[in-house]
């Protein structure tokens, strides 16, 4: 799936999933609290111990809610995980091979030095992988179940400056426009055989970047003209019509967070010892 198609599917999912009509306050509170608890679990690390329980629990629950309760497409969810997971694996390999201290696991003699792989480096890389994956599951739950409109209204309710909220809305909108124009221009270049070789590809990419910059500036001016024609007075108005937030749901999230914190404290000295 191309980048433009992927982002279009994300936006579509945010408006059409089974939890789209639920309160964004509830979804945001759940996602952010679970993310913070999962990431802050590193505070309780014991050297040489891979405490994997809490990140895995958070990952399983957020994934189950996203796929099972919200009915988000499985292939979309996996496509979103593909790029960050690939980069995360590369980063964790670097952590495992080049960082760490204490008890060595492997020592490889080289002509100029000795390359040492430490047990703590392996532990650090595994912990990093698990926590980032759990954090991504929390983030994707929020992104795939809550529309940008609901999030902007929520930001206004918590008194985020208006200019920041409106800039966020416009930037989000222009991400899709930018990708769509880029896709169209790239296809046009390929049809004209402008990417037949390596040097030709570099030249075409430079032309694409320049043309894309000009097109986006032109589109921005058109958008401002259209907004002024519709009575734009410096404020983008959004219908503030939130679904009611159930106190029982918020209480359930608080209880869930307390259980996660308790699990962190209980499993501090548990895990895979390296």
Tens digits of per-residue pLDDT, 32-91?
999 988 887 765 445 444 467 888 889 999 999 999 888 888 888 888 888 889 999 999
Is 152 within the bounds of a domain? no
The verdict on 169 and 198 lying in the same domain is yes
The verdict on 7 and 32 lying in the same domain is yes
Is 251 within the bounds of a domain? yes
Residue 47 Cα to chain centre, angstroms: 29
From CA 1, how far away is CA 30, in angstroms rounded? 29
Q: Output the pLDDT for position 48.
A: 45
**Taking phi first (over 0 means left), then psi (-120 to 50 degrees means alpha), and beta for anything else, what does residue 214 get?**
alpha
Give the ranges where the chain is alpha helix by DSSP (H).
3-16, 24-40, 53-64, 74-98, 119-145, 148-157, 162-191, 198-229, 247-266
Is 236 within the bounds of a domain? no
Q: Output the pLDDT for position 86.
A: 92
The verdict on 126 and 261 lying in the same domain is yes
The verdict on 140 and 165 lying in the same domain is no
The verdict on 211 and 75 lying in the same domain is no
At 209, give phi and psi (nearest 5°): -65, -45
Number of domains in the chain: 2
Is 235 within the bounds of a domain? no
Residue in this structure with the two tokens 């416009």, named with its chain if needed = 170
Dihedral sign, Cα of residue 57, residue 58, residue 59, residue 64: positive
Q: Output the pLDDT for position 136.
A: 92
Burial class (CB in 10 A: 0-12, 13-18, 19+), 75: exposed
Q: 140: domain range?
A: 3-146+244-273
Tens digits of per-residue pLDDT, 222-242?
877 887 787 777 677 776 676
CB 212 within 8 Å of CB 178: yes
The verdict on 82 and 29 lying in the same domain is yes
Q: Output the pLDDT for position 178.
A: 75
From CA 206, how far away is CA 64, in angstroms rounded? 43
Q: Output the pLDDT for position 5.
A: 67
The verdict on 108 and 8 lying in the same domain is yes
In the chain (274 residues long), the average pLDDT of successive 10-residue segments reads: 68 85 88 88 52 84 91 88 90 84 74 76 84 91 88 83 81 76 74 65 73 77 79 70 80 90 72 46
The verdict on 87 and 140 lying in the same domain is yes
Q: Output the pLDDT for position 217.
A: 77
The verdict on 140 and 14 lying in the same domain is yes
Q: Output the pLDDT for position 234.
A: 67
The H or E element that residue 118 is part of is strand 114-118
From CA 136, how far away is CA 88, in angstroms rounded? 11
Is 237 within the bounds of a domain? no
Is 177 within the bounds of a domain? yes
In 3D, which of 33, 82, 76, 34 has the Cα closest to residue 57?
34
CB 95 within 8 Å of CB 129: no
The verdict on 205 and 174 lying in the same domain is yes
CB 79 within 8 Å of CB 5: no
């Amino acid at each position: 799936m191309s980048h433009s198609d992927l982002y279009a599917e994300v936006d579509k999912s945010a408006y059409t999933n089974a939890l789209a009509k639920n309160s964004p306050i509830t979804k945001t509170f759940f996602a952010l609290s679970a993310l913070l608890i999962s990431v802050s679990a590193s505070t309780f690390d014991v050297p040489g111990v891979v405490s994997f329980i809490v990140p895995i629990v958070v990952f399983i629950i957020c994934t189950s809610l996203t796929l099972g309760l919200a009915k988000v497409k499985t292939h979309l969810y996996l496509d979103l995980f593909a790029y960050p997971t690939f980069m995360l694996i590369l980063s964790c390999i670097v952590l495992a091979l080049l960082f760490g201290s204490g008890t060595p696991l492997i020592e490889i003699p080289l002509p100029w030095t000795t390359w040492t792989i430490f047990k703590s480096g392996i532990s650090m890389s595994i912990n990093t992988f698990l926590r980032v994956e759990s954090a991504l599951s929390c983030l994707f739950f929020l992104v795939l179940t809550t529309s940008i409109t609901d999030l902007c209204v929520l930001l206004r309710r918590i008194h985020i400056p208006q200019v920041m909220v409106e800039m966020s809305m416009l930037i989000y909108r222009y991400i899709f426009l930018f990708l769509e124009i880029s896709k169209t221009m790239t296809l046009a270049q390929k049809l004209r055989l402008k990417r037949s070789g390596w040097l030709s590809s570099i030249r075409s990419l430079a032309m694409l970047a320049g043309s894309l910059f000009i097109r986006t500036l032109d589109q921005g001016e058109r958008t401002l003209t259209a907004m002024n024609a519709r009575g734009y007075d410096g404020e983008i108005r959004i219908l503030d019509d939130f679904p009611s937030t159930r106190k029982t749901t918020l209480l359930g999230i608080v209880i869930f967070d307390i259980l996660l914190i308790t699990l962190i404290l209980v499993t501090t000295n548990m895990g895979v010892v390296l």
